[in-house]
Amino acid sequence: MPAPHTRPAAMLVLATALAAVGLGPAAAPAAAATVPVGSGSYSDTRPAGTSGPTTNTGTPVVPKVTAAAKDRPVPTNDWWSSLAFQRYGDNPYSTPMYGHPLTYQAVSGGLDVGYPTSPAIVGDGRQYEYAHKRDLTIGLTGLNSPDTKADDWSDWTVTPYWSDGTRTLRTTIGHGMPFVYAKGSGGDARITTAEAPTVFADQGSVLGITVAGHHYALFAPTGSDWNVSGSTVSAGLGSKDYFSVAVLPTTDALATYRKYAYSFVTGSTVNWSSTGGTVKATYTLTTEAEEGTERGTLQALYRHQWLNTTDALTPYTYVSPRGTMKVRESASFTTARPASPVLPALPKPSGVEAARLKGYLNEVADAADPFSGATDTYWTGKALGKLAQLVPVADQIGEGAIRDKFLGLIKGRLQDWFTAGGANEFSYDNAWKTLTGYPASYGSDTELNDHHFHYGYYVYAAAIVAQYDQAWAADSAWGGMVKTLVRDTANPSRTDSAFPFLRGFDVYAGHSWASGHQGFAAGNNQESSSESTNLSAALVLWGSATGDSALRDLGSYLLTTESEAIAQYWFDADEQVFPSSFGHDTAGMVWGSGAAYATWWTANPEEIHGINVLPVTSGSSLHLGGEKAAIRRNLAELERENGGPAVEWRDILWEFQSLADPAAAKAKWDAGNGAYTPEEGESRAHTYHWISALNEFGAPDATVTGDLPTSAVFTKGTVRTYVAHNHGATARTVTFSDGKSFSVPARSTATATGTGSGDPDPDPDPEPPTGNTYQLRSGGTLTTATGATAAGDTVPSAGGANHDGTPYQPLVYEIKGVNGTLTPGAVTSFRLQVDADTTVGLGQQARISYDLTGDGTFDRTETYQYFATDPVTGWEEYTQSRGLKSSTGTLGDLNGGTVRLEVWSAVGNGASRLQTGTERSVLVIPYD
């Protein structure tokens, strides 16, 4: 479970294992219970009187794995962790596991499988659940196993194992997999259904059945035959040992699914890159053909994936707690997203009163105990995070002594924790391959919860120290212990024998999980998604400060991926995920089965809304500004639920509001005049600086990214402010996606302003380049001309119907006689200013079409995901970053061709506006 934010209330790791992954210095075997790592150390034995992983009754447990897997680090904090972590002593199998679209639970006779398609609203309307409900059990005749163990696993698949001494069964299951692949011995394949099935297809070794309204296909080896008797379906395997089961989107899909029924998935791997301001990830399944030669497969993509891929998808879809899943007919797919912005600090705002800010800094620096009595890993981490945010703020206003005092406090506490044998230390558990800090808290020891939450603060604070003191961060000094924490929480190596790959980050789900045991009927969960991104941002900063580009890029992948998952699954940014019956605009917690408007410790709306915001940092929080409408809906709901504005966590929520509406947040700060109690991880100094900076520079602009991971863009009115921090020892040029470019001195932050033409002059830039950039003109024209007067066209209402993907009374803008050479690798882009005024529930959609020769037939059509406008008067920017919804045809050179832009209302019951006559609304085609 995630760390509740309650009110104040061995083995020696061998040198070869450490050196192999490049994440820590070689540690020579040490005497007694201490493993030296540079200047620090950890213990290989828990401190006296403490506990490691246990059942709910306090009995120590070890991983529940087969002999084949006994030496592999178990990826705790996963969607299937209850297979390996027997949290409840009377359940040696598993709790429900949510792979999506299928759900699973291990039982004595095999694997229960379900496909929940209707949400239930529970907890006084505060939670929606697509709870696991058994449709059928996959097993063998007579199988009665005393337990289920994890036999094998990969990045998002797992193989449970059953044996009763006579029969053995292995099944491979995973995220996005409509198939369950089974291998058994000692008995016939046996499918037991929850009710007598209806047979819709009988093809001997292939059987189509419907159970509880869900369609399944059963595949036995060719030559065998399925027999149906009541609620039992069985087939002899003959000399073979394999069979498979698939959930079908429709009965008509049987032929397609049959093609891949014997292409068994054997593993899954994600590979990522972060270059030029874009994060790409390729998700690949490995397969082997049990019969025939087919090696392809089918995968169901989550919303955060299909929104960000241009790979072809089939018409097949599934229901899930994360919205619609779309099916791809391939063993791999690739996603691409603009990298989420990260900075060590917001730039210095000119409007800040230096004396006032210094006074706020001294409130923390001169406190009797800057750590507020913290002793455990979590609350110590919160205090470290608070101090780390103030180091660059003090530096910006020339308060070197205060800066160095903060650095000294951070170093001292980190070094205390990084040295074994004291009142606090880290201890390695060889059975579970994990590093636990003692004193522990919130189950970080007994349940292996929340390591990414706790340790993210340590890594973040260390990254700020490294920015100012590289010698301290060297592996031979204290950097080795920082990297050991990284290996525990976000290890990028799949071959490290001491720690699992990416412990808590679920690469396919797109976010982390907090529970180490996953022992809940609702699956695993994560509450504070923002504390998860705090670790990812820390990796970007640590990797940048220490010259470790691999860790930096890992952090960028994790942050960018989770930022989209947060937008969709915590904040429902497109209003396409939460069931309409849920009735909330945000979720405090995401579960495998759904989501809840709740926290672990309170029903206070301020904390339900704030828990996925804190800690507010320029590393982990700027990505939230990419969904301004969702922020406004979120805060409007907060005030409805709270009966008025925030009181307890007002600073966190002011800072959140400033990511969408900086002036409104500044007005609230000014009205309070600093007279409030800061949240435990916050300070008046940081909040004052944060709100003042965004009020001056504007909210984050997610439409533009820099080619340096430590860069960001802010927009106020028509002026963009570009910011980049160069951790390197030499100056470097940073280039942004709109063409802006400027030099950033070594170990410095630099800023520039403009509109992005590539002119490094800090004055506003000239108009965008003409030739392949077209402005919209009222009357339906696209033109390369500039200098017109801004105007607006009315986008007709959708009339309360759903026109997602199909133009309805569209505004049409067109240019004919276009010649151009297709730019290899380039894609269509646009930015359109739209406004729904105060009308709720509207969404505008764009389609771009290319008639390459002007013969009246469009050779390429691209339809983009619609943009959900907010009910606040003022222009919002709709761009191609919403992602392709569909496309047909292919691009080629233009020879007297026609380019057409259509804009219409996809949803809603009201008209909206589209701005014309300005460079703020343009279409850019991928041609020279």
Structure tokens at 237: 């395997």
Q: Are 889 and 742 in contact (CB under 8 A)?
A: no
Q: Read off the amino acid at residue 532.
A: S
DSSP bridge partners of 210: 198, 215
Strand, helix or coil for residue 36:
strand
Residue 235's φ and ψ, nearest 5 degrees, are -150, 135
Going by the DSSP 8-state scheme, the letter that residue 765 receives in this structure is P
The Cα–Cα gap between 90 and 549 comes to 46
Rounded Cα distance between 575 and 804, Å, is 13
Give CA–CA dist 666/12, Å, rounded: 53
Helix (H, G, I), strand (E, B) or coil at 392: helix
Supply the DSSP string of 786-843, one letter for each residue.
Answer: --PPPEEEEEPP-TTS--TTS-SS-EEEEEEEEEEPBPTT---EEEEEEE-TT-SS-E
Residue 37 to residues 410, 422, 472, 474, Cα–Cα distance (Å): 19, 16, 13, 11
Query: For this structure, is 527 an active site residue?
Result: yes
Residue 274 in tokens: 């972060």
User: Interhelix angle for 480-490 vs 529-546, to 10°?
Assistant: 140
> Which one-letter amino acid corresponds to residue 492?
P
Tokens encoding 759: 């002119």
Spatial contact of 660 and 631, defined as CB atoms under 8 Å apart: yes
Do residues 842 and 904 make contact, with C-beta atoms less than 8 angstroms apart? Answer: no
Q: Which own/partner pairs from 662-666 qualify as long-range (CB within 8 Å, at least 24 positions apart)?
A: 662/691, 662/694, 662/695, 662/698, 662/699, 662/716, 663/695, 665/691, 665/694, 665/695, 666/691, 666/692, 666/695
Query: Can you give 669-729 as a three-state secondary structure string?
Result: HHHHCCCCCCCCCCCHHHHHHHHHHHHHHCEECCCCCECCCCEEEEEECCEEEEEEEECCC
Instruction: Quickly count: other Cβ atoms within 10 Å of residue 59's Cβ.
Output: 10
Annotated catalytic, 531? yes
Given the residues 78, 155, 429, 531, select the one marked as catalytic: 531
Tokens of 711: 């860069």
Q: What gap in Å lies between CA 467 and CA 465, rounded to an integer?
A: 5
Which of the residues 290, 527, 738, 851 is marked catalytic?
A: 527
311's CB contacts (< 8 A; 6+ apart) are 328, 330, 333, 334
d(CA 62, CA 57): 15
Distance CA 190, CA 230 (A): 13
Active site residue 450: yes
Question: Which member of 78, 376, 425, 450 is catalytic?
Answer: 450
DSSP strand pairing (505-506 vs 434-438): unpaired
CA distance 372 to 395: 24
DSSP strand pairing (589-591 vs 594-596): antiparallel
Q: Which residues are catalytic?
A: 450, 527, 531
